[in-house]
């Protein structure tokens, strides 16, 4: 699927998405999940290709033919496979979708959600010029989005943040570094402290917590971890050592909806707010993100935005739509993303598929 606009972060540019979808069937109903891995191993170690390999050769063989009473039971079956949470989440989330259909409840209610309307922000990539970035922010604020996230990297940071803040004195603003800095850059973060930034997302190494705790001690702005958090245990440890005051929860990164719930709960116990991150998802992953954002401790606006910011034509109908006041309303029909898929369009876009009979 071709993205409408190239998306640039500190680790590279994405224009073309290659997405693995997982469809599960009980013979008469279907559930859909999306693997949120990128095309290359730059956000994390997973890619579209590694997810295909790990699903086909390990995750599916470990789970097929086993009896499930609920979607929550699948993760323990694949616990022996280390890492590859996005591949696992592809299957796990498809099962939750199917379960919602079989239970005749909307997915967000099955997950335990309470927020019927969720607050939306946008993640804006690095732009060729500051003027182009300011113009994009202006468009998104006028569209109603409640929080603006910009991407930073060395050479595109303090000055950019200063100009954005001076052009938009009142907006909720945050900055995501995708691990582009080290502790040696503490002065740069101190300089940005004065621009009233809601949080710095993942400033340091993608596997680090210790240096983040050190940085958090030396700056006023809250640190939010993204890349470093893969489980509720990671979240607990990060909170315990003071590595962050906020956590970005991504469905794929934590292995699926059960993982989201666990991270969400541990953060709530410690008074740490969470928000839902995005991975440039198609409508299927997007609807899963909308549903999970209904959990109570998702109290900050997420990176869950309108289908039309990404795609000329999304693979779900109706697409995800954000209201002019920057919110998405949960769907009231029973089931989840699978209810809304466009099979003919998915068929047209499919370059490879494999069936695994039970
Ligand atoms: O770090 O949050 C991130 C996209 C790809 C990989 C990592 C990230 C992102 C985003 C985009 O920020 C969020 C979205 O609009 O889906
Ligand atoms: Mg991030």
**Sign of torsion over alpha carbons 319, 323, 327, 329:** negative
Ligand 1 pocket, CB under 6 A: 43, 123, 176, 178, 226, 277-280, 303
Nearest ligand to the C-alpha atom of residue 199 = 2
Q: What is the pLDDT of residue 68?
A: 82
The secondary structure of residue 70, as a DSSP letter, is S
Catalytic residue, chosen from 151, 170, 191, 237, is 151
CB 136 within 8 A of CB 171: no
Tokens 């402290």 belong to 193
The predicted pLDDT at position 206 comes to 98
Which tokens go with 291?
């549903």
Mean pLDDT by 10 residues, the chain (358 residues): 96 96 96 98 98 98 90 94 98 98 98 98 98 98 98 97 98 98 98 98 98 98 98 98 98 98 98 98 98 98 98 98 98 98 98 95
Locate the ligand 1 atom nearest the alpha carbon of residue 280 and give its number. 16
Ligand 1 geometric centre to CA of 68 (Å): 33
**How are beta strands 246-249 and 274-276 bridged, if at all?**
parallel
The environment of the single-atom ion ligand 2, i.e. residues with CB closer than 5 A, is: 176, 201, 226
The answer to whether the CB of 84 falls within 8 A of the CB of 51 is yes
State the ligand closest to the CA atom of 150.
1
Question: Which entry of 194, 250, 342, 348 is annotated as an active-site residue?
Answer: 250
Residue 244: name the closest of 278, 204, 279, 277 by CA. 204
Q: Cα of 256 to ligand 2 centre, how many Å? A: 17
Q: Could you tell which of 45, 151, 280 is best to mutate to test the pocket of ligand 1, judged by most ligand atoms within 8 Å of the CB?
A: 280
Beta strands per DSSP E along the chain: 2-9, 12-16, 21-25, 30-34, 117-119, 121-124, 147-151, 173-176, 199-201, 222-225, 246-249, 274-276, 327-329
Give the predicted TM-score (pTM) of the model: 0.97
Catalytic residue status for 308: no
- Does 104 participate in catalysis according to the annotation? no
Contact predicate 42/11, CB 8 Å:
yes
Q: What is the pLDDT of residue 67?
A: 87
Report the 10 Å Cβ neighbour count for 102. 16
Question: Helix, strand or coil for residue 265?
Answer: helix
CA 12 / ligand 2 centre spacing (Å): 13
d(CA 261, CA 332) in angstroms, rounded, equals 21
């Amino acid at each position: 699927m071709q993205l409408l606009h190239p998306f640039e972060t500190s680790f590279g540019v994405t224009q073309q998405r290659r997405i693995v979808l997982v469809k599960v069937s009980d013979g008469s109903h279907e559930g859909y999940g999306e693997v949120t891995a990128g095309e290359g191993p730059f956000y994390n170690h997973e890619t579209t290709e590694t997810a295909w390999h790990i699903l086909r050769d390990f995750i599916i063989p470990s789970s097929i033919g086993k009896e499930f009473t609920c979607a929550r039971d699948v993760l323990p079956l694949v616990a022996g496979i280390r890492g590859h949470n996005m591949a696992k989440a592809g299957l796990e989330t498809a099962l939750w979708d199917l379960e919602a259909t079989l239970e005749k409840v909307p997915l967000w209610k099955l997950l335990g959600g309470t927020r019927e309307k969720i607050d939306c922000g946008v993640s804006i990539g690095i732009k060729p010029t500051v003027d182009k970035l300011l113009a994009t922010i202006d468009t998104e604020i006028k569209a109603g989005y409640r929080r603006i996230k910009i991407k930073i990297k060395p050479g595109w940071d303090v000055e950019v943040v200063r100009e954005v803040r001076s052009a938009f004195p009142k907006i909720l603003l945050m900055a995501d570094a995708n691990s582009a800095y080290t502790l040696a850059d503490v002065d740069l973060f101190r300089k940005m402290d004065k621009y009233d930034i809601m949080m710095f997302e993942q400033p340091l190494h993608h596997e680090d917590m210790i240096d983040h705790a050190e940085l958090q001690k030396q700056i006023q702005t809250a640190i939010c971890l993204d890349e470093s958090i893969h489980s509720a245990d990671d979240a607990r440890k990060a909170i315990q050592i003071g590595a962050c005051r906020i956590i970005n929860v991504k469905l794929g990164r934590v292995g699926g909806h059960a993982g989201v719930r666990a991270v969400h709960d541990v953060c709530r116990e410690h008074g740490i707010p969470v928000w839902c991150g995005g991975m440039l998802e198609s409508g299927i992953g997007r609807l899963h993100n909308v549903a999970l954002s209904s959990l109570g401790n998702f109290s900050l606006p997420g990176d869950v935005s309108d289908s039309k910011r990404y795609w000329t034509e999304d693979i779900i109908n109706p697409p995800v739509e954000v209201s002019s006041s920057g919110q998405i309303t949960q769907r009231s029909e029973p089931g989840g993303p699978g209810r809304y898929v466009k099979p003919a369009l998915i068929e047209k876009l499919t370059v490879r598929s494999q069936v695994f009979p039970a």
